[in-house]
């Protein structure tokens, strides 16, 4: 029984290391993509179209993961696609966190009319289907990296706002907040110095989850050709192309889909692991 308990206690740490390790590897691959890519991701060679991965018969050692229907190197396109996915995850996730967490903290601690206005705004915003809302925004703003980031921030800030509001209301009822009020601390000082540090583990967990969601949203928009230029390598665009040739070249679909799955899963598990690590109650 003691060994079983020890194994259970080690699971969050193992989950944290595995997910963090994959994301770190992905970040390094994206940063050094120009040096790691064996070919130009946009270079086409119709004579080398749909070459299989290196372990299958008929493969070319110059193309480790094979090529697509236009003869473009799959490994190079995946590395450059990781750059876009991680850029969207980092920028859109951070901006969404800042907007949503700030409004949630204001609503949860200050209450009153601020809570009423922000809560009603959240209810109205969440009535729209998120994917359709994102497509509508991209159609209005136009395609491009900036438009994708704006669409994700506009859609997903409500998730942070609702959760942080509930946490701030719970922390605001604690004795340490009452003690700070008796000591004459300002409301802004209490919100920043007392409540925010105790809500921070939840915010960090939500941030990592939001990064995974941002990667999915970008892949969906790329899948329907509403992301950046169709020539640029994106995981969603590669999945869309691979879907049409799954029986002739399965690797065009499977490899980017597997990378997308691992990345989203890693962001999710990293968030859960960080919350368990920093939250003393869960720990």
CATH number for 84: 1.10.3720.10
Structural domain contains residue 106: yes
Please indicate whether residue 156 or residue 173 has the higher confidence score (pLDDT).
Answer: 156
170 located within any domain: yes
Question: Which pTM value belongs to this model?
Answer: 0.84
What pLDDT is recorded for position 11? 55
The per-residue pLDDT for 12 is 59
Which residues constitute the domain of residue 111? 78-278
Per-residue pLDDT band for 2 (boundaries 50, 70, 90) equals very low
For the chain, the domain total comes to 1
Note whether residue 124 is domain-resident.
Answer: yes
Tell me what the mean pLDDT of segment 146-162 comes to: 88
Percent of the chain with pLDDT over 70: 93
pLDDT above 60 for 242: yes
- Residue 20: what pLDDT? 87
User: Is residue 5 in a domain?
Assistant: no
Reading the block at residue 13, the tokens are 């740490």
User: Does the pLDDT at position 176 exceed 80?
Assistant: no
Domain contains 23: no
Residue 63 scores a pLDDT above 50? yes
What confidence tens digit (pLDDT) does each residue in 100-115 have? 999 988 888 888 788 8
CA distance 71 to 184: 69
Asked if the structure places residue 140 within a domain, the reply is yes
**Mean pLDDT, to the nearest integer, of 208-224?**
88
Task: Give pLDDT, residue 3.
Answer: 47
CB-CB contact of 52 with 16 (8 Å):
no
């Amino acid at each position: 029984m003691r060994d079983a308990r020890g194994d259970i206690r080690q699971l969050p740490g193992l989950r944290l290391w595995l997910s963090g390790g994959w994301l770190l590897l992905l970040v390094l691959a994206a940063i050094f993509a120009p040096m790691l890519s064996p070919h130009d991701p946009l270079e086409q060679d119709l004579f080398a179209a749909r070459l299989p991965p290196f372990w299958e018969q008929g493969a070319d050692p110059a193309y480790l993961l094979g090529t697509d229907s236009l003869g473009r190197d799959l490994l190079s396109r995946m590395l450059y696609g990781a750059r876009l996915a991680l850029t969207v995850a980092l920028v859109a996730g951070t901006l969404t966190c800042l907007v949503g967490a700030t409004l949630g903290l204001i609503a949860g601690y200050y209450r009153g009319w601020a809570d009423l206005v922000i809560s009603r705004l959240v209810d109205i915003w969440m009535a729209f289907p998120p994917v359709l809302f994102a497509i509508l925004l991209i159609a209005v703003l136009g395609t491009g990296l900036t438009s994708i980031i704006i669409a994700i921030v506009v859609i997903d800030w409500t998730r942070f706002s609702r959760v942080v509001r509930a946490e701030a209301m719970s922390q605001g009822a604690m004795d340490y907040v009452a003690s700070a009020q008796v000591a004459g601390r300002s409301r802004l000082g209490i919100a920043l110095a007392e409540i925010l540090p105790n809500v921070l583990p939840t915010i960090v967990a939500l941030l990592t989850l939001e990064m995974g969601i941002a990667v999915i949203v970008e892949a969906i928009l790329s899948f329907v050709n509403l992301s950046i230029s169709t020539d640029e390598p994106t995981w969603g665009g590669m999945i869309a192309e691979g879907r049409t040739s799954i029986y002739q070249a399965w690797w065009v679909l499977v490899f980017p889909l597997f990378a997308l799955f691992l990345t989203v899963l890693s962001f999710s598990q990293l968030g859960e692991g960080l919350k368990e690590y920093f939250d003393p109650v869960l720990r």
